[in-house]
Amino acid sequence: IRDFLLVKVCCEDKEEEQNMSYGKVKNKLKDKTTPINKPTSAESEQNMVEKVKDETTPTSKPASAVNEQNVLAEKVKDKNTPISKASSAVNIEYSCTELFEALKYIHSAAECYSCHKPLRSARVCLNGHGVCLACKTRSNRMCPICKVSVTDVKPVMLDQIIKRLPRICKFFQKGCESLVLVNDNDHETFCRYRQTECRIPQCGWRGVAGKLLQHLESVHAKDLVRSTSESKILMSFNTKMNREGLCVIIAYNNIFWQHVRVRAGRLVQFYQYVPLEKPKEKFAVMVTFHTPETNYSSTTPVHSDAFDFYSLFKDKESFHLPKKIALSFNQFHSGVHYSTEIIKKPL
């Protein structure tokens, strides 16, 4: 009985295993033969929209990549952003210093081999040395370097370069940072850093023209006469007294020297002013005499202080009181009053 039961149990186990295997195979066949459900048209459109959205959505970058991109953007921004005024001023000042040094070096190569002045109307010898026309004449057409003859050939290209080459103002050591063309002689004539002197008697001050007004206001304040464009300055002179003097007039933010001389009853005077840049206007002085018997006025141009003021006493443009009118003033024992007005006109 026991053996029979064991055989029966074994048979049941095998039958169960066979059923399980058959079930698995049946399920597999069912999965393969079962049709897949296709999405509807609405679902297809939704899937397509989602796909396009995924493609257009930018992929997030790592933090390091974002930082690199930000740094690159800042560099591009810095290149396009204009330099601030403060840093620009520092760069310009530094560049000017370098430019001055470079110009000094270039000018040393563009000097006459004889007089060491800038070459103007240059001529060259047979060996190519450049000399100015004055030195060529002075040296009997012989080169001061190699002693060969200097030709009449004018190096056109060199001459054009020299004419366009700016030079440093000769008052650079005094503070002027202007660049001057070779053929521009006006800048140094009127440069505010040029040397001048105080012309008040017994004053030996010398300095740059730009500081002359400061000197006059601090040392000679009581001697200054200030005028506006609409005011007249009242003065007087005595025909019976010989004298020579100077008056300082401040008008139109300029300094005017009035030089006066009375000799043998004759009045002679002229005016100078101290420009601090190339003049953009011209000045004149109108002198007017008014007495019961005489009305007389005359207008005289004002010269810059570049003129020799001693020679201007003889100049035709100085004011000379006519002899006939001067004789009519002899009856005024205390002197004659007259007015002086400074007039400004555009050039």
Whether 166 and 256 map to the same domain: the answer is no
Please state whether the predicted TM-score (pTM) of the whole model is above 0.75: no
Whether 231 and 167 map to the same domain: the answer is no
CATH of the domain at 118: 3.30.40.10
As for how many domains the chain has, the answer is: 2
Whether 229 and 342 map to the same domain: the answer is yes
Residue 207: inside a domain: no
Confidence of residue 56 (pLDDT cuts 50, 70, 90): very low
Residue 319: inside a domain: yes
Q: Average pLDDT for residues 144-161, to the nearest whole number?
A: 83
pLDDT of residue 92: 46
Residue 65: inside a domain: no
CATH of the domain at 231: 2.60.210.10
Q: In which domain, by residue range, is 171 found?
A: 92-184
Would you state the structure tokens that stand for residue 167, as one six-digit string? 């030079």
Whether 150 and 245 map to the same domain: the answer is no
Confidence of residue 82 (pLDDT cuts 50, 70, 90): very low
For 239-259, the pLDDT digits (tens) are 777 888 888 999 888 999 998
Task: Report which of residues 48 and 197 the model is more confident about.
Answer: 197
Q: Which of 211-220, 242-251, 274-283 has the highest mean pLDDT?
A: 211-220
Confidence of residue 126 (pLDDT cuts 50, 70, 90): confident
Whether 281 and 229 map to the same domain: the answer is yes
Whether 178 and 240 map to the same domain: the answer is no
Residue 87: inside a domain: no
pLDDT of residue 223: 86
Whether 249 and 342 map to the same domain: the answer is yes
Query: With pLDDT > 90 as the criterion, what percentage of the chain qualifies?
Result: 14
Residue 16: inside a domain: no
Q: Which of 22-26, 99-103, 185-189, 305-309 has the highest mean pLDDT?
A: 185-189
Task: Report which of residues 162 and 87 the model is more confident about.
Answer: 162
Whether 228 and 180 map to the same domain: the answer is no
Whether 162 and 228 map to the same domain: the answer is no
Residue 70: inside a domain: no
Residue 14: inside a domain: no
